[in-house]
């Protein structure tokens, strides 16, 4: 049975990727928490740590935001090298030199435990939508459902909802 790995609220997990999502930098906190040595992370797709519980729609939304030049905020469940998991609140931004985008920069913080009940329910519904949809458009459909849900239940965009949710439960 897998167990949740935790880290201190003041710790930041930081990584950089190239434009295709391959890891070009990882800080020591990232290596320690995901339990991979730097040599196993560098030049590997960042999604190597993606947990199976994560709906693909969240990453659809992330890539859509990033390719539009915007930043992305979200709760992400990641896997460790030994089959455990950890939750983060991620902020992913385009990494640029001047006007040229060279990759992406991700800073992850502790996901407030009280926020995860709502998030896991939303993600379960997204996975249901993905399981009952055509594989090609499943991520887009679940992402659209999440955006609609935020608007209908909270009267705000996904970005406003997720930032508000994080800040409401932050320690």
Supply the pLDDT for residue 1.
83
pTM of the model: 0.95
The H-assigned helical ranges of the chain are: 28-34, 38-41, 56-67, 116-131, 138-149, 158-169
Taking only the tens place, the pLDDT of each residue in 86-108 is: 999 999 999 999 989 999 999 99
Taking only the tens place, the pLDDT of each residue in 61-91 is: 999 999 999 999 999 999 999 999 999 999 9
Q: If you average pLDDT over every residue of the chain, what do you get?
A: 96
CA–CA distance from 43 to each of 17, 99, 125 (Å)? 8, 24, 33
Smallest Cα–Cα separation from 6: which of 116, 115, 117, 85?
85
Q: Does the structure show a pLDDT above 90 at 116?
A: yes
φ, ψ (nearest 5 deg) of residue 68? -90, 0
Cβ burial, residue 76 (10 Å; 0-12/13-18/19+) = buried
Show me where the domains of the chain are located. Answer: 13-169
Tell me the CATH number of domain 13-169, given options 3.40.50.261, 3.30.450.20, 3.30.1340.30, 1.10.10.60.
3.30.450.20
- CA 65 from chain centre, in angstroms, equals 12
């Amino acid at each position: 049975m897998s167990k949740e790995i935790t880290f201190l609220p003041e710790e930041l997990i930081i990584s950089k990727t190239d434009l295709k999502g391959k890891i070009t930098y990882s800080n020591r906190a990232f290596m320690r928490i995901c339990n991979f040595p730097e040599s196993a992370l560098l030049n590997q797709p960042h999604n190597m740590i993606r947990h199976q519980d994560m709906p693909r729609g969240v990453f659809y939304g992330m890539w859509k935001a990033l390719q539009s030049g915007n930043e992305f905020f979200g709760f992400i469940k990641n896997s460790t090298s030994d089959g455990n998991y950890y939750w983060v609140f991620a902020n992913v931004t385009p990494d640029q030199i001047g006007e040229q985008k060279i990759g992406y920069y991700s800073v992850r913080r502790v996901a407030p435990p009280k926020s995860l009940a709502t998030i896991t329910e939303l993600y379960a519904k997204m996975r249901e939508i993905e399981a009952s949809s055509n594989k090609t458009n499943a991520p887009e459909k679940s992402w659209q459902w999440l955006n609609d849900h935020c608007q209908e239940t909270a009267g705000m965009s996904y970005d406003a909802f997720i930032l508000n949710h994080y800040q409401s439960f932050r320690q």
